[in-house]
């Protein structure tokens, strides 16, 4: 069994409510399920609930080589979208391409707003998936097409500061700040999220890349690697 909706610590054993557990299907490795549950269900609500990605759309995914980014980019491809991904290095750019990105933008070397406009013929994208936060928020708003949605779901660079809502009116934009737990609070919703995720993994539609493995007692080192943005894909702790 696996879970992804109860967080807050690391241990070899824990007591958890049975209705928060889901069965790992045959054909999905336990390590892959452990790496994927939280990040994968986050990707699920982003592209299947908060914004329903449609075939033919072009979407922007920030931090496309990260744990959520690699899964979300692949899921958007499964849904038929064209994916623009931002990354911090050429090496991470290769990771992003291997995980579904049609276009990769090196944000340290390129202006991602200009690149998005170039790729979309000046139209912009209907949705931005942004787990970076403060550093990318302003540019992300500029990347949106009319009636677009900005989804900020993480604060890797710091929280987005307060802003004037009137700035959204010219293009009729929407800003959302969702989180996973309300989307999987009901048992049926949890089963829907996990079922879709694990089904795609089992079918090979979504590949879970574990870029780093740490022993359980090395949890502090794992956090340091994440905070310094030296990771790619998912990170797991091994008891």
Is 10 a domain residue?
no
The answer to the question of residue 11 being in a domain is no
Residue 2 located in a structural domain: no
Question: Looking at the predicted structure, is the pLDDT value of residue 4 above 90?
Answer: no
Residue 206 covered by a domain = yes
Query: pLDDT tens digits for 129-175?
Result: 999 999 999 999 999 999 999 999 999 889 999 999 999 999 999 99
Percent of the chain with pLDDT over 90: 89
d(CA 69, CA 99): 9
Would 134 be classed as within a structural domain? Answer: yes
Q: Quick one: tokens of 130?
A: 């942004």
Residue 5: pLDDT over 90:
no
Residue 55, pLDDT score: 99
**pLDDT class of 10 with cuts at 50, 70, 90:** confident
Number of domains in the chain: 1
Q: So what's the pLDDT on residue 172?
A: 99
What pLDDT, on the 0 to 100 scale, is given for residue 127?
Answer: 99
pLDDT confidence of residue 33: 95
Q: What percent of the chain has pLDDT over 70?
A: 100
Query: Residue 72: its pLDDT value, please?
Result: 98
The pLDDT of residue 69 is above 80: yes
For the stretch 82-108, pLDDT in tens is 999 999 999 999 999 999 999 999 999
Q: Is 73 a domain residue?
A: yes
pTM greater than the 0.85 cutoff: yes
Q: CATH number for the domain including 143?
A: 3.90.180.10
| Full residue range of the structural domain in which residue 112 is found | 18-238
Taking 90 as the threshold, does the pLDDT of residue 14 lie above it?
no
Question: Rounded to whole angstroms, what are the CA distances from 74 to 67, 157, 183, 212, 235?
Answer: 12, 24, 21, 20, 18
Encode pLDDT of 117-128 as tens digits.
999 999 999 999
* Per-residue confidence (pLDDT) for residue 152, from 0 to 100: 97
**Tens digit of each residue's pLDDT (9 = 90 or more) over 37-67:** 999 999 999 999 999 999 999 999 999 999 9
Q: Is residue 174 part of a domain?
A: yes
């Amino acid at each position: 069994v696996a879970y992804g909706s109860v967080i807050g610590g690391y241990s070899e054993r824990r007591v958890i409510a049975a209705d928060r557990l889901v069965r790992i299907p045959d054909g999905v490795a336990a390590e892959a399920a452990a790496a994927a549950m939280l990040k994968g269900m986050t990707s699920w609500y982003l592209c299947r609930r908060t914004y329903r990605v449609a075939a033919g759309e072009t979407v922007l995914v920030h931090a496309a080589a990260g744990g959520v980014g690699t899964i979300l980019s692949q899921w958007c491809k499964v849904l038929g979208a064209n994916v623009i991904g931002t990354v911090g290095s050429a090496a991470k750019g290769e990771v992003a391409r291997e995980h579904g990105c049609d276009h990769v933008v090196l944000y340290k070397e390129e202006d991602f707003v200009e690149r998005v406009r170039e790729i979309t013929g000046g139209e912009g994208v209907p949705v931005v998936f942004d787990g970076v936060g403060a550093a990318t928020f302003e540019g992300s708003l500029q990347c949106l097409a009319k009636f677009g949605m900005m989804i900020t779901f993480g604060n890797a660079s710091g929280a987005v500061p307060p802003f004037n809502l009137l700035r959204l009116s010219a293009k009729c934009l929407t800003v959302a700040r969702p989180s996973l737990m309300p989307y999987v609070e009901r048992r049926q919703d949890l089963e829907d999220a996990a079922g879709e995720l694990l089904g795609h993994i089992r079918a090979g539609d979504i590949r879970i890349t574990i870029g780093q493995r740490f022993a359980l007692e090395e949890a502090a080192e794992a956090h340091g690697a994440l905070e310094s943005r030296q990771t790619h894909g998912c990170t797991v702790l091994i008891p």
